[in-house]
Amino acid sequence: MCGIVGYIGNQDAYPILIKGLKRLEYRGYDSAGVALLKDGVNVYKKRGKVADLERHIANKDVGGTIGIGHTRWATHGEPNDTNAHPHRSMDGKFVLIHNGIIENYGRLKKTLEENGYTFTSETDTEVLANLISYMYDHGATSFENAVQLALKKVIGAYGLVVLSTEEPDVLIAARKGSPLVIGIGKGEYFLASDATPIVEHTNSVIYLSDDDMAIIKKGQLTLKTIFDKTQEPVVQELDLDVGEIDKNGFDHFMLKEIFEQPRSILDTFRGRVAKDNKEIVLGGLYKVIDDLVQARRILIVGCGTSWHAGLVGEYLIEDIARIPVEVEYGSEFRYRNPVIGKEDFVIAISQSGETADTLAAIRMAKEAGATVLGICNVVGSSIPRETHAGVYTHAGPEIGVASTKAFTAQVTVLAMMAMVLGNKKGHLSTERYNELINDLTVIPSKIEKILQQNDKIKEIAKVYKDANNAIYLGRGYLFPVALEGALKLKEISYIHAEGYPAAEMKHGPIALIDENMPVIVIATKDKSYDKIVSNIQEVKARSGKVIAVVTEGDEVIRNMADHVMEVPDSCEMFSVLTTVIPLQLLSYHIALMRNCNVDQPRNLAKSVTVE
Ligand code: F6R
């Protein structure tokens, strides 16, 4: 949440910052701003998108080779020009951009007010800018020391970059809980919340850890903690291609990412399906696999779409490996005093690897002695760095705020894990193991076929674009798909939608059904098929409109439903990966027809780094 960029070097900072902010806009897009150091500091900020900021700045002085920029997702204070970052201290000497939440900002603000400080915005960030200024005037030996002293007083999370007119040749960056990456160029440094704005400049990066602080001058970087302990910078190579963060001819990132799924799932398999499809090797788990096989139980934690993938994981692991699994929202788990100990394994699922509640849950599980594994997409993010072992999904950057390819990649990893465990535990015969590997590896070609129905799905979207509500129904493995389909619709089209296990309909939701209620039923041919056919009849008997996701050639449901979206027949366990695709496309087209911003839905942001 919130995107941070910074530059220090010999080039003009402004174009680098603006381009960087556009890359990071998916992290927050209610306001944006930049500050440029040049004979003093010029600060420009504006409510709205980065494009609004650019228009606001046109014809203004954007000179300077040191600068910082921010794109905001509001926490404290409504989105407006004043609350936008960067924030200046009252004396104008310190200018700050910040991602995170200063939890004790109220108390700090009161103390500063008692010392004569006044504030123009409602933000916690302005409090921090003034706290640095206060420390500078009250005993700090330098700009760097003032930042250290201020951060020691802070409770909460931050990724921040600060500059000062007092030492105009330096940028200071610090991190606690919110990500920050430094790109190393030739005599220049690039700072950002993630690597997407950096990759076109350099592949060498340093990921800051909690309590790290970087003091950066042109051509010189010093890394230490806010407690003044020197840190050895670990330089890593980015495995990211600029092409992966462009729309590549698609109208939206979301559509591009939906269409990428045949390839992204292959990337998830890559190097892991070995010996002519006879074995799955998950290198990231090699240290823990023997213990995992013996696990008393597995807890899966995640949020949103990743939590839905976790539910699929529960079905897969219990079904194939016969290990008890519980699935928890990170936010509930962390605050509800769960029973957990060293015999337990926790799997944290997260696209971004930065979700605050998921991170807090894994820290708690580690403290309780559990072994914690990560299933993450963003390489080098916090969750993979804080877990004992894990598997990257390798789906490539997901920029659309609504998660699509990350979900199918997460499910693919969970399927592979379940199969490895099932095989090692002896619940899967070699023959069945090989059959399942084959069934899984043909999924990308099945998805290719489903994507060919895009135009047909668009026609269905036309019929339902004005709906106010929708119900999604599924059973067994397809219940999490119902939840995921409903989430996709509500988050990008703002239509109220709920997912239910189909049999639950009779226990309440059936009262909602009338001729205006679209009911999306995921009804492929599996062991619950006859039961779900009965559920469809129950909906039709109450004049509901049925849009069914069916197995190719299913004439029975075609004759009952108002519309069908077909998917090729596949093994029940992996049908999640096929049936979710038409639902993603349906949501996309409905949202577009309602003139919604598909890639940047209102109130949302990618990577929820605040709780
Ligand atoms: C929905 C969506 C969110 C995320 C959730 C967790 O489309 O994207 O629900 O799934 O915020 O994010 P990660 O997976 O980054 O932990």
Concatenated DSSP letters for 93-124?
Answer: -EEEEEES-BTTHHHHHHHHHHTT---SSS-H
Kindly report the number of other CB atoms within 10 A of residue 311's CB atom: 22
- For 294-342, where are the alpha helices, taking DSSP H only? 304-316, 330-333
The predicted pLDDT at position 603 comes to 85
pLDDT at 36: 98
Pairing relationship of beta strands 66-72 and 31-37 according to DSSP bridges: antiparallel
Work out the number of other CB atoms within 10 angstroms of the CB of residue 458: 16
The residue to mutate among 403, 580, 599, having the most atoms of ligand 1 within 8 angstroms of its beta carbon, is 403
Kindly report the protein residue whose alpha carbon is nearest to atom 16 of ligand 1: 350
pLDDT in the model for residue 98? 95
Distance 351 CA to ligand 1 centre (A): 7
**Tell me, what DSSP letter sits at residue 318?**
I
What pLDDT score does 610 carry? 76
Report the distance separating Cα 589 and Cα 479, nearest Å. Answer: 23
Mark residue 526 as left, alpha or beta (left: phi above 0; alpha: psi -120 to 50; beta: remaining): beta
Radius of gyration over alpha carbons of the chain, in Å? 25
Domain annotation for the chain: domains and CATH numbers:
3-242 (3.60.20.10), 247-441 (3.40.50.10490), 451-599 (3.40.50.10490)
Catalytic residues: 2, 606
Question: How far, in Å, CA of 402 to CA of 605, rounded?
Answer: 9
Q: Which numbered atom of ligand 1 lies nearest the CA of 355?
A: 16
Q: Where are the alpha helices (DSSP H) in 334-375?
A: 356-367
The CA dihedral of 387, 390, 392, 397, to the nearest 10 degrees, is -20
pLDDT tens across 386-403, in order? 999 999 999 999 999 999
Which residue in 454, 408, 19 sits closest to 251, CA to CA?
454
Ligand 1 center to 290 CA (angstroms): 30
Find the 570 Cα to ligand 1 centroid distance in Å: 27
How many helical (H) and strand (E) elements, i.e. helices and strands, does the chain have? 20, 26
Positions in the chain short of pLDDT 70: none
- Kindly provide the b/e burial profile for residues 34-56, where b requires at least 16 CB atoms within 10 angstroms of the residue's own CB: bbbbbeebbbbbbbbbbeebbeb
Which residue's CA lies nearest to atom 5 of ligand 1? Answer: 304
What residues does 326 pair with on adjacent strands?
A: 299
Helix orientation angle between 50-57 and 13-24, rounded to the nearest 10 degrees: 160
Ligand 1 atom closest to 406 (CA): 14
> What's the confidence (pLDDT) of residue 451?
98
The answer to whether the CB of 410 is under 6 A from ligand 1 is no
- The answer to whether the CB of 193 is under 6 A from ligand 1 is no
Give the pair of three-digit tokens for residue 78.
């409504």
How much distance in Å is there from the Cα of 347 to the middle of ligand 1? 16
Residues 460-486 as b/e (b if ≥16 CB within 10 A, e otherwise) read bbeebbebeebbbbbbbbbbbbbbbbb
pLDDT digit string, tens, across residues 78-116 = 889 999 999 999 999 999 999 988 999 999 999 999 999
Cα(178) to centroid(ligand 1), Å: 16
Which of ligand 1's atoms lies nearest the C-alpha of 305?
10
pLDDT at 275: 72
Cβ of 402 less than 6 Å from ligand 1: yes
Question: How far is residue 610's CA from residue 157's CA, in Å, rounded to a whole number?
Answer: 8
Q: Which residue has the CA at smallest separation from atom 8 of ligand 1?
A: 403
Non-local (6+) Cβ contacts of 399 within 8 A are 26, 196, 245, 253, 257, 599, 606
CA gap 331, 322 in Å, rounded: 27
Question: What was the pLDDT predicted at 62?
Answer: 95
Q: Do the bridges between strand 496-501 and strand 66-72 make them parallel or antiparallel, or are there none, so unpaired? A: unpaired
Residue type, 336: R
Our answer on whether the CB atom of 393 is closer than 6 Å to any ligand 1 atom is no
**Amino acid 606: pLDDT:** 78
Q: Of 132, 102, 95, 99, nearest to 117 (Cα)?
A: 132
The mean pLDDT value of the chain amounts to: 95
Q: What angle do CA 267, 552, 257 make, to 5 degrees?
A: 30
Asked whether the beta carbons of 36 and 64 are under 8 A apart, the reply is: yes
Q: Which two tokens mark 297?
A: 């139980």
Kindly state if the Cβ of 580 falls inside 6 Å of ligand 1. no
Please tell me the predicted confidence (pLDDT) of residue 378: 92
In three-state secondary structure terms, 412 is helix
Long-range (24+ apart) CB contacts under 8 A made by 592-599 are 592/252, 593/461, 593/462, 593/465, 594/465, 594/493, 594/494, 594/495, 596/492, 596/493, 596/494, 598/252, 598/254, 598/255, 598/400, 598/402, 598/492, 599/26, 599/252, 599/253, 599/254, 599/399, 599/400, 599/401
Q: Is the CB of 382 under 6 A from ligand 1?
A: no
**pTM strictly above 0.85:** yes
Q: Which atom of ligand 1 is nearest to the CA of 308?
A: 10
Residues 72, 81: Cα–Cα separation, whole Å: 11
